[in-house]
Amino acid sequence: MTKAALEMKRPVMQLPGLVRDPACGAGALLLPALREHLAASATIDPRLVLNRLPSVIEGIDSDPAAVWVANVVLAAEMLPTLARIPEAHRRPLPALAHVGDGLAPDRAPARAILMNPPYGRVRLSEADRARFAKSLYGHANLYGMFMAVGAESLDANGVLSALVPTSFTAGRYFEPLRVYLTSQLRLESVAFVADRSGVFTSVLQETCLATLTRRRVRKVAVRAIGSAVEEVATIASPTGGNPWILPRRSDLAPVAAAAAKLPNTLSSVGWKVSTGPLVWNRRKDDLFARPANGRHQIVWAADIDGGAVHRDVRRASTRYLALHSERDRHVMLLTTPVVLVQRTTAPEQTKRLVVAELTEEDLARVSGGVVVENHVNIIRPVGDEQMLSRRLLTRILSTPTLDKLVRCISGSVALSAYELESITLPDAETLKAWEMLSDEELERAVAPTYGLQEQPAK
């Protein structure tokens, strides 16, 4: 992918500039680049070739043992070139990897940065927080910082390729990073790692290979890597901080392309999303099977499948929460009708978007409101003016089309409040017209709005 982004069209070519891996480990990502460069240099004076290697390959790692191995591995690759030099003229081979901090500022500009950086949240010093202010919001994740530093250390024709979790494409904490990256680069290709068995043993997130370029490309090639590499789609390259809508499968490609062009989001039409406030394991002593004074009915994630709020029997022993103070009631109780959406679904569930309306009638059946637990997202109106009714919102989110859309925003089974808020919707006029439609007519209208073939009437 990096070679394609650098427009290196021939199968074996010399490197056009410095290729750096700022967290190189034992040099796995640098090795193919070095190998190809040396193969393409077979007719050039070998002394010159070896002397110049430090200007085309650089590895950095904070682990001295990894750097030692990297230097051995990379040097082994140079032996055939060394063998072309008469013995009397041979010099020690260059050490291309060195111990250092891959996040250090002001390194020489690189033509390509390749990396599989460390992942994980880190606590930052005041100085680092200030340094990374442009690309950070809330929790800092090491891999996002490596991407930000990578972007700023490229030369004018540079390419950044990273093997990283997909959370940077849609997560809330990565919004400034998306803005920062696309203010100077364009996503040129992305490959989702579809089959992770045997690839990563301890990483649970969805993972991708992302290549960003300084060239102002308009399109991004999307692929899926399973047992083979599958071409998924070519769609407009995303820009800006909103979650990037990227299809993971080719049948989702038209939805991603059409949805990215729609004018509204859930938040722009007057609805906002929050997560249910009850974290049950912090309130174990307050959970009860039977109602009583001061106890309120809980809505669990399992209560909202099947399209309506119900009482799942598996939750019978923890159906009520005892609330103790005015503040407790203020935080926990929901007393107005809303739309509820499961925050995570099990992989075996066919739908990723499991939605039910909490109606006036539902609330009338309980006294004083309900308590929503935190595996449920709550969509509620902001202010008095909404572009679409609660009923229509529920019905739109329940369509198979919108289920396809959320699969282009989150590649995992989880759907955060932030990601849900970014769901795109059509203009006010279309939404108004949809209010009148039956469920069946609605699905037939929704599908083509999101790029899918109109569903034939049943």
Residue ranges that bind ligand SAM, judged by CB under 6 A: 21-26, 28-29, 60-63, 66, 101-103, 116-118
DSSP structure class, residue 457: P
Q: How far is the CB of 163 from ligand SAM (least distance, A)?
A: 7
CB-based closest residue to ligand SAM: 25
Q: Which is nearer to ligand SAM, 24 or 372 (CB)?
A: 24
Q: How far is the CB of 231 from ligand SAM (least distance, A)?
A: 25
List the structure tokens of 70.
């990297």
Q: Which is nearer to ligand SAM, 113 or 259 (CB)?
A: 113
> Between the CA of residue 338 and those of 140, 216, 355, 363, 381, what are the distances in Å?
33, 43, 11, 10, 8
Q: Which is nearer to ligand SAM, 71 or 344 (CB)?
A: 71
Q: How far is the CB of 39 from ligand SAM (least distance, A)?
A: 21
Q: How far is the CB of 116 from ligand SAM (least distance, A)?
A: 4
Q: How far is the CB of 80 from ligand SAM (least distance, A)?
A: 23
Counting every residue, how long is the chain? 458
Torsion sign over Cα 425, 428, 429, 432: positive
Q: How far is the CB of 188 from ligand SAM (least distance, A)?
A: 21
Q: Which is nearer to ligand SAM, 29 or 358 (CB)?
A: 29
CB atoms within 10 A of CB 148: 20
Q: Which is nearer to ligand SAM, 29 or 423 (CB)?
A: 29
What are the respective helix, strand and coil percentages of the chain, to the nearest 5? 35, 25, 40
Q: How far is the CB of 138 from ligand SAM (least distance, A)?
A: 21
**Residue 354 half-sphere exposure, CB side, CA atoms within 13 Å?**
23
Give kind and range of the element (H or E) at residue 113: strand 110-115
Selection from 291, 312, 286 nearest residue 301 by Cα: 312
Q: Which is nearer to ligand SAM, 63 or 305 (CB)?
A: 63
Residue type, 410: S
Q: Which is nearer to ligand SAM, 209 or 252 (CB)?
A: 209
What's the burial of 455, exposed, middle or buried (CB within 10 Å: 0-12/13-18/19+)? middle
Residue 174 contacts by C-beta under 8 Å, 6 or more apart in sequence? 137, 141, 144, 167, 168
